[in-house]
Structures are given as structure tokens and as C-alpha cells.
Amino acid sequence: MDYDAKRAGYALDTFFKPLYAIEATCKALGLDYDQITERRQEQSVPILLAFRQWLEQQVSQTITGTPLNKAITYALTHFDGLMIYTTDGMLEPDNNILEAQIRPIALGRHAHMFAGSHQGGKRAAIIYSLLATCRLQGINPINWLDDVLRRITDLPQERYYELLPQNWKAQYPAAARSYA
């Protein structure tokens, strides 16, 4: 099967390597979310727009139904979604971190089939999501959970957003203490 390695390699070298280099630089510089957004708007958006233009040129030069044609068509169809990460520095350009976070869940899928009920499964998913967010934010989940469980009963429901790990970390940086 012909995967058109030359064109795929061109896309990787010309578009994706520079985009990931921008992300690596943001991380190395320790930029905050607003600074990351600004850098992405200045540097990543032009690369992505050039990528879309290249895709539009390439789609007509590929054979319908081939893997590369399908990939290009898919990318063009979902291009607006691809651009979203450039609007918020908290977002990631891919889902690699999420996949690494949920790998233990996927591996334990059989054991988790018996959550007791559909509602129990939903609650477990919410807890997994919150704990994974703690991990992504570098928050010790025990510190976060201890504080949240103590405060949630006294907090009006419209302020629950303050207890989300990313918001909690900003309010209590000393309590967050890195979770490695």
C-alpha cells in the first residue's frame, strides 16, 4: 500500500516539527497560559494556516480513497478543531497527555465494568478526570481532595468552579505542592 512517504514526510518536517518546537520552547521557558496563547497566536497560527493551504493544494493531487487522501480530507474537515488549541494556552495541541493518563483506566476496563450502576460509572469517570487534572497541574491530589472535601459544603454551588484543580492551585499554591 502506498502511503506517500515523501508528502507525509514533508508535512511532518515543514509543519508539525515547527509546531512542536514552539510547544517545547513554551515549556522550557516556563510560560504561563496567557503567554503560551500569545506565542501560539504569533507563531503557530501562521504555520497552521500554511498547512491548511498546503492540504488544499494536495487533496486534488491524491487518489480518492488512498490513505493520504483520506488523511488530508479528514484534516481539512476538522481543521477548525485543530486550530482551537491556539486560542487557549491551557489546551494541548494533541491528546497524548490524556491518553497517557487514561491508559491505566483502559487497562483496567474489565475490572471497572462493575461500578455498581451507570450512575456509579459516571461518578467514577468524574473522579478520574479530576485526579488526572490534578496530575496535569502538578497538584498533590491528596492535598487537593482533603481541602475540597472540607470546603465544598460551605461553598455556594455557583462557586464550585473555584474548587477545580486548575483554579484551586492558583488560590493555594503552597498547598498544591508538586505531585511528581
How much is the pTM?
Answer: 0.59
User: Within this chain, do residues 39 and 102 fall inside the same structural domain, yes or no?
Assistant: no
Which range of residues forms the domain containing residue 69?
5-87
Alpha carbon of 70 to those of 58, 76, 174: distances in Å? 12, 10, 49
Tally of domains within the chain? 2
Tell me the pLDDT of the chain (180 aa) as tens digits. 456 788 888 999 999 999 999 999 999 999 999 999 999 999 999 999 999 999 999 999 988 988 888 989 999 999 999 999 999 999 999 888 777 777 766 666 665 666 667 777 788 888 888 888 888 888 888 989 999 999 899 999 999 999 999 888 888 776 666 554
User: Within this chain, do residues 79 and 102 fall inside the same structural domain, yes or no?
Assistant: no
User: Within this chain, do residues 126 and 147 fall inside the same structural domain, yes or no?
Assistant: yes
Determine how many CB atoms are found less than 10 A away from the CB of residue 87.
Answer: 11
Alpha helices, DSSP H only, in 60-117? 67-77, 79-83, 96-107, 109-112
User: Within this chain, do residues 58 and 31 fall inside the same structural domain, yes or no?
Assistant: yes
Q: Which of 87, 111, 139 is the last residue of a domain?
A: 87
Residue (of 153, 145, 131, 144) closest to 173 by Cα position: 144
